[in-house]
A and B are shown apart, each in its own frame.
Chain A
Amino acid sequence: NAGVTQTPKFQVLKTGQSMTLQCAQDMNHEYMSWYRQDPGMGLRLIHYSVGAGITDQGEVPNGYNVSRSTTEDFPLRLLSAAPSQTSVYFCASRFTGNTVNSPLHFGNGTRLTVT
């Protein structure tokens, strides 16, 4: 049971480049989410999904797109990378979207640098 798997672990982009951060979970979790972690700011929610075909914005969605075509996968797309998007990105999932009884399971993160 792999849990939440994020790829790549590290990525360096130039300003204006695009890329997709991959997230996959094998726990049949309905709820999946993306956070970014910046020093002194904790984790901030970018986008989340409560099931296949359903996505919504979090606190800091600008510059990011998501889609959820399957239960297992929730990719995060950067359409035109900016230095302000340099951060560590975490994908997290749990069983259901509208209860707190199921804890979040986190991946190990993707460290992104935009130059």
Chain B
Amino acid sequence: AQSVTQPDIHITVSEGASLELRCNYSYGATPYLFWYVQSPGQGLQLLLKYFSGDTLVQGIKGFEAEFKRSQSSFNLRKPSVHWSDAAEYFCAVAAFSGGYNKLIFGAGTRLAVHP
């Protein structure tokens, strides 16, 4: 069955430091992968997505993610974190069932940023 694992529940970094959020997926075929961000009291916003091609994808707000098939990973990175990046981050994989695709989400990683 398809699944997404985000090993880190909480991460705290200092403003200006680099960030890497981990995501591992389980999927039999070529995965379609996504990262979403949720600010407090808000819905989810798409940061970036991977379908095929270049394994390093760029997203909004200075984020990037690298797809590594051999490790079944799709880790999210940012070179320098800003206080406004404090939020919850969700990794997701698209699963096809009955001819339609549905998103399966990981449990999320909550990011805190120290000034």
State the A residues within 8 Å of B (CB). Answer: 4, 31, 33, 35, 40-45, 48, 50, 56, 58, 90, 92, 97-101, 103-104, 106-109
Residues of A within 8 A of B49 (CB): 100, 103
B42: chain A residues within 8 A (beta carbon): 108-109
Query: In whole angstroms, what is the CA distance A33 to B107 when docked?
Result: 18
In the complex, which range does the number of interface residues on chain B fall in?
20 to 34
Q: B51 contacts which of A50, A97, A101, A109 (Cβ < 8 Å)? A: A101
What residues make up the interface of B, taking CB atoms closer than 8 Å to A?
Answer: 4, 6, 9, 32, 34, 41-46, 49, 51, 90, 94, 98-108
Give the most central of A43, A98, A104: most B CB within 10 Å. Answer: A43
- Contact status B101-A99, CB under 8 Å: yes
Give Cα A31–Cα B99 distance, bound, in whole angstroms: 13
Contacts of B90 in A (CB 8 A): 42-43
